Chains A and B, each alone.
Chain A
Amino acid sequence: MKISFYKIITFVIVFFLLIVFWLGLQKDNSYNTKSLVGTNLSSFNLPSINNEDTITENYLKNNKFTIINFFASWCAPCRIEHKYLLNLSNNGIKIVGVNFKDKKENALQFLNELGNPYEFVAQDVDGKASISFGIYGIPESIIVNDKLIVIKKVIGPINQQIYEEILENLK
């Protein structure tokens, strides 16, 4: 068999494809943001819920720890975790709320009704900013230290056990 340019190209393409397929198989395909823990938070700039103020990553540098909690009035599990957030806030832990894909009136009513545990309530109307925090569903919370390193990520509502863990670690 003579070696020609076309043959080499064909084999190169076929091997490339097969190798990509093989590498693709080795990859974990499920979307996972657990690996976020230990990484640095990227910079952000979000407006407050009543559009009077904005919050950036500098705000977090003032606290030893900050919980960033993503919530919405339409989210049932958010109601369940709300009392734990209030307790954490009463224990002196700073919480920033990010209102996720929500209407302003509904969000304010939600906080009126259940209490406001947040130092600052930011809004993310179309949910795009939350993606850069590694959020893919709510409720989710991330805990960040003053060096902007993510030290914990909670997917789903905070329950008694997680609440105790947080309290233990952050005190």
Chain B
Amino acid sequence: MLNNTGHLLIFLVMVLSLTIIYKSYLELKISSQKISNSIYQLSLFQSTFAISSFLVLIVAFINSDFSLINVYENSHSAKPLFYKIAGAWGNHEGSLLLWINILVIFSYFFLIFNFNHLKKFRLLTLIIQNLLILGFVIFLLKNSNPFSALEPVPSEGLGLNPILQDPALAIHPPLLYLGFVGCSIYFSAAMASMLANYRGKSFALSIKSWVLISWCFQTLGIIVGSIWAYYELGWGGFWFWDPVENASLLPWFAITALMHSVMVLEKRDNLYSWVIILCLLTFILSVTGTFLVRSGILNSVHTFASDPARGIYILIFLSLMILSSLLIFFKFYKKENYSFNFKSKETFILINNWFMTFFLVTVFIGTLYPIFLDVLTDVKISVGPPFYNIVIIPLVIPLLLLMVFGPQFNWINSNKFFSTKLIILILGAVGVNLFIFFIFGSYSFLTNLIFISSIFLIFYSLIELKKVLQKKIKYNLPRIISHLGFGMMVLFIGINHQYSLEDDFNLKVGEEKKFSHYEIFFDDIKLKEEKNYKAVIGNFRVKNIKNDTTQSLNPEIRIYANPETLTYEAAIKTRISSDLYLTMSNISRSDFYNIKFQNKPFMIWIWISALTIVLGGFLQLLNRRNEN
């Protein structure tokens, strides 16, 4: 039953796509200023059907309807309700349906919210967006159908991988898709803008909010993924330069560059071609990322069940997208005059874009180099953190300084440069850096520079923040908050990286171990039965000899039945100044447990600062709503 309903709804979405394309095409020739009501209605129906189809899938997961292959393969009747629902998008087929939903909903919203823009531009955007929708719907029906039926109906499902049963991971994919697929709308708008010759400031105004929305969700999605890795994977890290993480970072660099340069287009009516390139690139990189992740071409912790046919389809789609956007871009390219005064805001925004491009290219090469090498020479290598650390970290220093100086400049031309205030701030930053140096211990020259420049940015942002709050000007607030967040993030990651303590040892119940200024007692173990797993819980006490405090930590080894899997749950004590992190794993045929203990300073502050960056984005969205 549900499979037919699902198929019908998807089919309707496809038919409506074709109708909208056809109707919009006819409408292009009519000279009236308004878009006819029927297109609005068709678009609304399309969204309704798409959302309904996704709800049908969720209902199938809630009811554990194993007549659908997708539910059978990814769910189990004994799973908690929350994870049953999350199961709907925790797999390739379901996530593709979510993907289509976002394409359709953004298409509708772009249509209704941009009523004051040129009709031809809006219609062309709608047509291109629906071509994208069509492509993905065909992919879904042909190759990745979440509604495929299973006969005979099995009595029980295979279950969802337990490491995916985590609240952070349940919301990670929807956030990321909102971010990545949201980019599709300004991909379509960029193409339409060139075709309709709707350039400059008005184009910037039409896409600005959409760029912000997708930037906010992308950033949030990446942060949540990182939080999941920290709490769930049990390695104590939060960023691994894993190919799939990199794939999510590529569009993020492009969109961050775009978010800045679209301001130049809005205020100065300049950089049009560059903005178009970034619009196209962001979505192309999103699809490239999807290709890399879903085709199985990269080996990574995020491996989805890979299927070469799936890869070929996305690759064909990607090639069509890239080639058509290149052809249109070159055909409609018009030479622009860039005559920026060096001492102006736009110059600094352009420099920001160079940095983003540099990071983008670095991560792109690092991620794809192993594929090139494998294909061209049959040598298998993997590119790890040392490469990224060496190439990226030194350039963070000038970026941080740029984030202080850039925003001070006015548009067009300004006369300020160094002021005594800034020199005092730099001296203050050096002072705080020395303070950290003496409290915690020494570090390299490069780390010194990173600390100084990030503290400088934090100081500067705080002073600006105070000014803005006193004068109650809201205009600059989002930027200040985001830049403050970035400065804090670099500083706390730096301190965390520099001063984490870590040790690995084997302990029996009743034993204890001394390590640095900690004493770890392994008191006992308990067994516990939960709805969908059994757990072995260790009871540890960690004593800090320096300040004579004791914390109890309870790491778990969980045995899930469906599918049969062992997971190791880290015990994490989060405190303002540092996190204690302890995992235990069993050693077969022995009474010993392998214990991994870490003390990670300022861990929670890394999340707080990352979320501060996003907060700036959301504030800006509110600002824009008020402006309108």
Contacts and interface: CB of A to CB of B under 8 A. Distances in A.
Interface of A: 1, 7, 10-11, 14, 17-18, 20-27, 29, 31, 76
Given A1-B331, A29-B296, A76-B589, A21 B326 contact: no
Interface string B330-345: 1100000000000000
Given A22-B315, A25-B308, 20 more contacts: A10-B326, A11-B326, A14-B322, A14-B326, A17-B368, A18-B318, A18-B319, A18-B322, A21-B297, A21-B318, A22-B312, A23-B375, A24-B374, A25-B297, A25-B312, A25-B315, A29-B296, A29-B297, A31-B380, A76-B588
B381 interface: no
B330 A20 contact: no
Nearest to B311: A25
Nearest to A79: B589
Contacts of B308: 25-26
Contact of A21 (B299, B315, B376): B315
Contacts of B588: 76
24 contacts: A14-B326, A17-B368, A18-B315, A18-B319, A18-B322, A20-B368, A20-B372, A20-B376, A21-B297, A21-B371, A23-B375, A24-B371, A24-B375, A25-B297, A25-B308, A25-B311, A25-B315, A27-B374, A27-B375, A29-B297, A29-B299, A29-B306, A76-B588, A76-B589
B330 A7 contact: yes
Nearest to A7: B330
Given A1-B330, A20-B371, A27-B374, A14 B323 contact: yes
A26 B319 CA distance: 17
A27 B296 CA distance: 10
Contacts of A14: 322-323, 326
B186 interface: no
A23 B330 CA distance: 28
Contacts of A20: 368, 371-372, 375-376
A23 B373 CA distance: 11
Contacts, number: 47
Interface of B: 291, 295-297, 299, 306, 308, 311-312, 315, 318-319, 322-323, 326-327, 330-331, 368, 371-372, 374-376, 380, 588-589
Nearest to A11: B326
Instruction: Name the residue among A7, A24, A31 with the largest chain B CB count within 10 angstroms.
Output: A24
A18 B319 CA distance: 7
A149 to B, nearest CB: 21
B109 to A, nearest CB: 31
Closest 6 CB pairs of A and B: A23-B375, A25-B311, A24-B297, A24-B371, A24-B375, A18-B319
Contacts of B327: 1
A7 B327 CA distance: 10
A25 B308 CA distance: 6
B381 to A, nearest CB: 13
A1 B375 CA distance: 34
A147 B337 CA distance: 72
Contacts of A22: 312, 315
A157 to B, nearest CB: 15
A108 to B, nearest CB: 19
Contacts of A25: 295, 297, 308, 311-312, 315
A146 B308 CA distance: 41
Contacts of A26: 308
Contacts of A27: 374-375
A24 B380 CA distance: 12
A26 B309 CA distance: 10
A29 to B, nearest CB: 6
Nearest to B291: A21
B331 to A, nearest CB: 5
Nearest to B308: A25
A62 B26 CA distance: 85
B300 to A, nearest CB: 11
Nearest to A26: B308
A17 to B, nearest CB: 8
Contacts of A11: 326
A21 B375 CA distance: 9
B576 to A, nearest CB: 41
A20 B318 CA distance: 13
A26 B455 CA distance: 49
B273 to A, nearest CB: 12
Contacts of A10: 326
